[in-house]
Structure 1
Amino acid sequence: MTFLSLSHLEKSFGPTRVVKDFNLSVEQGEFISLLGPSGCGKTTVLRMVAGFETPTSGAIAIDGADMVRLRPNARNIGMVFQAYALFPNLTVAQNVGFGLKVKGTPAKEIAGRVEEMLDLIGLPDLGGRYPFQLSGGQQQRVALARALAPRPRVLLLDEPLSALDAKIRVSLRNEIRAIQRRLGITTIFVTHDQEEALSMSDRIVVMHQGVADQVGTPFEIYNTPATRFVAGFVGTLNTIEAEVKDGATGRVALAGTEVVLHRPMTGDRVTLGLRPEAVRLGQGSCELGLSGKITEVDFLGSVIRLRADLGGQSLAFDTFNAAHSVPPRVGETVVLGLNAADLMVIGA
C-alpha cells in the first residue's frame, strides 16, 4: 500500500524546468534512492518532500494526507544534510534532543529518547562532547540520531556520505541501512554514487534532466536498463556497434561474427551494450569467441580491468587477480568469450 505519494511533481525556477512530471509511490518502510548526476533534479525532489521548496504543480501525500500546504515543521519529516548542520555550541546530547525540545517535550522524556538514540548510533558515551570533538563519521551519526529522535514518519537523506572518506562511507552506509531496517522507517536517499544506491536500496529512481528515466530494483536497474542514459550511468558498460543482417530475427554481425539476439530491430546498424563482467578471457563454454588485441591493463587489486581492440571497437573486461597467474600484456592477441543473452540492445 502506498504510504508516500508524489504525483506529477513539477518545479521551475524562472523559465527553467528542473523537475518534470515526477511520479513515485513509496510503500511504508521502503528505502528509495534518487540516483543521478549533479543538476538532474534529485535534491529538488527531496526538498519539495521536506517542504523547503514549493512545487510549481503536482501533489505530495503521506498516508493520504496532503503535504504541499504544510510548513516543513508540520510534516513530521526527519532530514539529514550533507554538511551535518549540527549546532556547534550544543553538546551531542543537546543536538540530538533539539527537535524534541522545540516540540515542548518534557525534559525527562527528552533525556530518555536521547539516550536511546545514542545507543542506536553506537555513541552512548559521547553525549557530553561538542561537534568539533567528533570525527566526520561520528558527526554524521549524530545528525542521523537528531533526525530520528522526534520519531518522523519519513526520513530524508541528502547525500549524507559524500564528505567522508571511502572506508568510513562503506561502514556508515551499512549502519544507516541496518538502522533503517530496524526502525522500519520510510526513507528517501539522494546520491550520485551508484555503488551506494545499488547496495542500500529496495528500489532506485534514476534521474536525468529532471525526469525519472527508470524506477526499479537494483537488479533491474543494473541488468535491464530502460534507456541509453541508465545503461551508461549505472555501472561500466561497453557499447558496441553491430551490423543488422536480419531485423526480423535480430541477427547481427558483431566484430565479424554473426549472432542471433532473438529481438526484432530496425535499421542497418544497432548499438549493443555489454557489461565488463560478462566477458571471459578465452572462449571456454561461451557461445561466441571474438579475437582482440590488448590495449590497456589496469591492476585494481582483486580485479584486473583490461581493454581490447576488436577491429576498431574497444571492449573493457574484468578478470580476477590470481597471485600465480600473469594477465595478458599490452599488444597480446587474445580470444574473448561472451554469450548472446548478455548483449543488451541500447534504446533511446
Structure 2
Amino acid sequence: MSFLTIENLEKSFGANRVVKDFDLSVEKGEFISLLGPSGCGKTTVLRMVAGFETPSSGIIRIDGQEVVRLKPNQRNIGMVFQAYALFPNLTVAQNVGFGLKVKGTPKSEIDTRVAEMLDLIGLSDLGGRYPFQLSGGQQQRVALARALAPRPQVLLLDEPLSALDAKIRVSLRNEIREIQRRLGITTIFVTHDQEEALSMSDRVVVMHEGIADQVGTPFEIYNAPATRFVANFVGTLNTLEARVLDPASGRVTLGQTEIALNRPLPGPTATLGLRPEMVSLGRGTHDTALSGTITEVDFLGSVIRLRADLGGQSLAFDTFNTNRIAPPKVGDRVELGIDAGDLLVIEG
C-alpha cells in the first residue's frame, strides 16, 4: 500500500477548475516532483496535501489515514516555502526549534533536536545569528531544518530554490536530495524547472492545465513522452512533419529521405520528435542520413548548438566544442546522422 495516496482530487475556484481528477500514489521515502508551467495546478495540489486548501472533491491519505478533514497542524507535514518565511526576531536556533516549542516539547529535547538539525544542514556555528545575517542559501537551509525538526511524515517543498542564483541552486538541490535520502522522508517537490525535477526525483509528475499528463521516472519522461505537451515541455525537441508512405510498416519520408520507423502509423502524415543530442554531424554509424544547410551557430561553451534547414524544416542539433575542429559556418551544406529508433511519434 502506498504511503501517500491521492485519488480523484479536484479543486475549483468558482467556475475555474484548477485541478482535475488528479491521482498519485507515493511510496514511503520516495522523492516526487510536480513539474509544469505557471498556472498548471501543481502548487494547488501541494497546498491541498498540506491542508492550506480544501479539495472540492477527492481523497488524500497519509500512511492509511484520510487527512482531508484534518487541519494543517494535525497532519504531521513539514513544508518549505519559496520565500523562506523565517521569523526575523528569532535566532536561527529558535527558528529551527519553533515547531517543537509549539508542540510543547521539553526544552532539553528541543535543544538536542535543534543541534542535530543544524549539524545536518552544516550551520552548527550559526545558531545564534538572525535571518538577516544569513545568505539566501543559508536561510533556505534553516527553513528546511525547521520543517524537518518535528520529524514530519511528509516533506513538501514549494519551489524552494527559485529565489536563489544559479550556482547556489545547483549546490542546494544536491544538499536537499542528500538530506532527503539520509532521512528517508517522503517528499513532494514543486518546480517549473525541468532540470531540477529530472536531476532530483525518483519520479516526475508533469502537469498541464490541472491534470497529470504523465507520471514516470526522469528517464521515461524525457525519452518516452506520452503526450505532445510533455515532449515539448521537457527538454528541447525538434518537431518534424513526415509523409507516411506505408502505414503498416511506418515507412515515411522526411524531406527527401525515406525512413522505416517499424511501427504502424495511420497517416497520411505524422509529426515526429527528435532530441538535438540524438543528431550527429556526419552520418557515422547512424542508420539514416539527412542533408541540410546550416542556418544558425550558437556557442554555449562546452556545447555548440547548430540549426540546419532540411528543405523547409528546421532541425537543431548539438556538437561538443573542441579547440581542434571548428564548427560549420552558416551557409555550409552538411550531412546529419540519426537513428530511426530515436524518432518519437508525437502525432499520427
Say yes or no: TM over 0.5: yes
Percent identical residues = 80
1:231 aligns to 2:231 (yes or no)? yes
Secondary structure, aligned partner of 2:272:
strand
Q: What secondary structure is seen at the aligned counterpart in 1 of 2:241?
A: strand
- Give me the whole-angstrom Cα distance separating, in 2, the residues matched to 1:325 and 1:286: 21
Deviation, structure 1 residue 265 = 1.1
In the alignment, is the contact (CA less than 8 A) between 1:86 and 1:143 conserved in 2? yes
SS in 1 for 2:125: coil
Q: Which 5+ residue runs of structure 2 have no aligned equivalent?
A: none
State the match for 1:111 in structure 2: 111
Report the residue type matching 2:159 in the other structure: E
Give a deviation string over 1:34-64, Cα, whole Å, max 9, x none: 0000000000000000000000000000011
Question: Aligned with 2:19: secondary structure?
Answer: strand
Query: How far does the alpha carbon of each residue in 1:194-242 deviate from its partner, in whole angstroms, 9 at most, with x for none?
Result: 0000000000000000000000000000000000000000000000000
What's the counterpart of residue 170 of structure 1?
Answer: 170
Once residues 257 and 149 of structure 1 are traced to their aligned partners in structure 2, the CA distance between those partners, rounded to angstroms, is 61
Match of 2:76 in 1: 76
Cα distance in 2 for partners of 1:255, 1:335 equals 13
Distance 2:347 2:67 in 1: 37
Q: Secondary structure at the match of 1:346?
A: strand
Q: Find the aligned partners of 2:143 and 2:246 in 1 and give their Cα distance.
A: 58
CA distance in 2, matches of 1:289, 1:306: 17
Q: How many angstroms does 1:23 deviate by?
A: 0.1
1:232-259: CA deviation from partner (whole Å, max 9, x where unpaired): 0000000000000011110000111111
Root-mean-square deviation (CA, aligned residues, Å) is 0.7
Q: In the alignment, which residue of structure 1 is the partner of 2:58?
A: 58
Q: Structure 1 stretches of 5 or more lacking a match?
A: none
What is the correspondence of 1:129-148 to structure 2 with a 5 Å cutoff? 129-148=129-148
Amino acid at match of 1:92: V
Aligned to 1:87: 87
Give structure 1 regions of 4+ aligned residues with deviation exceeding 6 angstroms.
Answer: none
Deviation per CA, 1:119-151: give whole Å up to 9, x if none: 000100000000000000000000000000000
Alignment of 1:204-215 (within 5 A): 204-215=204-215
Listed one character per residue, the Cα deviations across residues 72-129 of structure 1 (whole Å, up to 9, x for unaligned) are: 0000000000000000110000000000000000011100100000000010000000
Q: Name the SS for the 1:336 alignment partner.
A: strand
Conservation of the 8 A alpha-carbon contact between 2:206 and 2:213: yes
Q: Any conservation in 2 of the 1:226–1:347 contact (CA below 8 Å)?
A: no
Corresponding residue pairs, total = 348
- Indicate whether 1:303 and 2:303 are aligned: yes
Instruction: Report matched runs for 1:1-348 at 5 Å.
Output: 1-347=1-347
1:261-280 deviation per Cα after TM superposition (whole angstroms, max 9, x unaligned):
11111121100000000000
Instruction: Specify the code of the residue in structure 1 equivalent to 2:81.
Output: F
Alignment partner of 2:161: what SS?
A: coil
Deviation at 1:347, TM superposition (A): 3.6
Residues 36 and 207 in structure 1, CA contact (< 8 A), matched pair in contact too: yes
Q: TM-score, normalised by structure 1?
A: 0.99
